[in-house]
Chains A and B, each alone.
Chain A
Amino acid sequence: MSAILSAKGHADRAPSPESKSPAVTVIHVSKTFRLPHQRYQTLKERALHPWRSRTFDVLRAVQDVSIEIPAGEFFGIVGRNGSGKSTLLKCLAGIYDIDEGELKINGRLSPFIELGVGFNPDLTARDNVIINGIMLGLSRKEAAERFDDVIAFAELEEFVDLKLKNYSSGMYVRLAFATAVQVDADIFLIDEVLAVGDANFQQKCFDELTRLQRAGRTMLFVTHDMGAIERFCDRAMLLERGRVVAVDDPASIARQYNQRNFRRTRQELGVADSELPPENPAAEVHDAVFESPTGEVAITSTQGEPCTVRMDVHFTEDVDDPIFAIALANESGQAVFSTNTDAQRIPTGHFAAGEDASVRLRFDNWLSPGRYQLIASVARAGFGADLFDAHMSNSIIVLADKPGGGLADLPHTLRIERG
């Protein structure tokens, strides 16, 4: 791949006066969509109802966003679904026109909002790579010259003349990523594209992106994956309802994102609604991890064996009978297990300001194989529990020697009787 990117024009990347100025400048940008109440899809409808009022809802997808991203930064954009992060990216990519404000892009931009857009399943890899290269801004000659390197990076040398419809999904994604990064771009816009492909290739993609970043390219990365934000980004921005909530270091943004999501997650989990964690809570969850039998942090757990969750809580004020709660959610966000000291009628007693507590949950792990997110929280006692703090960044992978069909693999016996 290095051959592709060290192609002419990019061999030396001595800092020019230009590269000192920000790669992307967003100044008070707003983008509004009009959503008609009654969408007239046809002329007939319009002709039949000429006087029906044409009202519409205004969806402010992006509101007054300002941000400056220096060249060479790996910048993350996070937010829930509908927070406007993809719309902002599409405005930056020049796919949507903005309504207000100003965008300044300093350098050539490669939007791979989605991988493999424009690939035609009836054409061969060769044709697709060249067509896509031209769409991304290369000349036909450049696209042809880089073809071999693209194929080498995708590790698809043997399948060059195979039609894409005969590709496996993994091969498809590899080809798409290799095609997208071949362009000599200065700024890459990436929207969740790396949530595909197998773990090895994902790693290879991230390695390539970090390598590009070190070579001075700017990355704008939209994702839900706080792990990826913390691992790769220099800085991140949290959006909510189209507005910037915070621009900060990745760890802080991930924490804020999790806190904001926590309320919604609790609702989904069927736990009583509560306010967002307060600014200076009386109790804080410092850590919540899966623990191995030797007391170390575990990232996997074998089915059928005991599993331990530990949460560390620090009290900054005197608290009587706090409620400790732990829940496990599967990858679709469904709570598969949830417990707390209140429901189990376990008295917790008095905690003084400055005191620390460790809460351990032990259970036999009969979850079906997969990844589970740990959600630990502490709340004030009483009806409509008042949340102090919540923590949800750790997850565990349950391993099993046989596939599980349901949410849980309960220990069981099967007996057949004849006659």
Chain B
Amino acid sequence: MTVKIYIPRDAAAVALGAEKVVTAMSEAIASRGLDAVIVRNGSRGMHWLEPLVEVETAEGRIAYGPIKARDVASLLDAGLLDGGDHALCLGKTEEIPFLKQQTRLTFARCGIIDPLSLDDYQAHGGLAGLRNAIALTPQGIVAQVTESGLRGRGGAGFPTGIKWKTVLDAAGDRKYIVCNADEGDSGTFADRMIMEGDPFVLIEGMAIAGIATGATKGFIYTRSEYPHAITVMAEAIEIARKAGVLGPSVLGSGRAFDMEVRTGAGAYVCGEETALLNSLEGKRGIVRAKPPLPAHKGLFDCPTVINNVISLASVPIIMDKGAAFYRDFGMGRSRGTIPIQIAGNVKHAGLFETAFGLALGEIVDQIGGGTASGRPVKAVQVGGPLGAYFPRALFDTPFDYEAFAARDGLIGHAGIVVFDDTVDMLHQARFAMEFCAVESCGKCTPCRIGSTRGVEVADKIAAGIEPEKNRELLADLCNTMKFGSLCALGGFTPYPVMSAMTHFPDDFKPAPAVEAAE
């Protein structure tokens, strides 16, 4: 029987040499006359082990990693096709603790299936949610999503069901589903992984959203920095269309839904939903004032559902297993699972999907295994460039929307960036302001001007110029930006700045004068 060898096509694996491994492996298969085939799967999310090569055996899949092209010969010599032992053998993939501890609902198939095989997708439970949805009324679908407790995974945490209900109830002959795949936050890659590793789940989620709200057209707006995701997504849409999953009659239901992928052009602010809508319309990515809400007047002034990739990709399992199944995971008002992305200076970096409620410290120290550099953890930034820096003292914070908000932070898109003790928090605060200045859309003054002034004030503190006065000024400026900005870019930039200043005051003290030390 032909043996399947899995080598990921995920951008992280590719960036670490997966293509070279594929070339070496296919040459070796040919020259040795082996009965084996290479499947390009998504990533399992254990990025410190990428490229992770797996082989399918009678006992299950056996993993090897990280593999370089030069390891291929010795792997085959060691009996790779039978799951033979090797210095880089990690045993059964499912038994690797990092994977075994997870609850994979949204990412259930990611890394397991061939992302562009609709048969594989269906063999692993795909399309069951869409079939169930078709049998329901739009109100019935919306009720399920509402009861599941699913909240927007892009960061704002707005209940998805309520958003859908607003669009369902809005009058309009044309409605849209827009998927926000403009994943610009540093430390996040969950959207990218889903699009590269299980694109059909996103297509299915969007089709359900369309049927639930009466929208017939969907757009996935993603980033030009994600060429691999764009390729996979576009191919998957083509396949889905040919198979009748998309088109004039979704799975023969008589209800139409189709979609396309659109590429941004390097503007971070387009991750903000109204700027994204403007960009899709072919305008500058300028933030719109709300109201009107996108649910009432969104894309081309039509009622529009705009949801994050992970929100939409979580809908199929809710429709498959039921609202109660999903709601039973999690804590407080944060229901279900969240794909936590562990990144930066950390030993076991990757994607860890789990129910809400894990303590931050457990994620960083136990699951992440501490820093990659081996030095002590000084700070972790949660929620991207607009998220707060947390010191060790706050590592008991449970991963939950409300718990993070109570500590002046946010979980955002659930990215965690770990820093060791060499990080200078004043420098990080300055960077937050600099980033805001580079990426501000320019519509509102607090963000456009405030960020530039913020960089200057941070520089003054670093230079030891009236530090006390300038720290007060920086806090005052943050206050203005927080309450005066139109969107989260200017409004949340104060989170990293203020958290750095509050939790790491020593880094904001003037550098000791060189003369005095001599």
Are A and B interaction partners? no
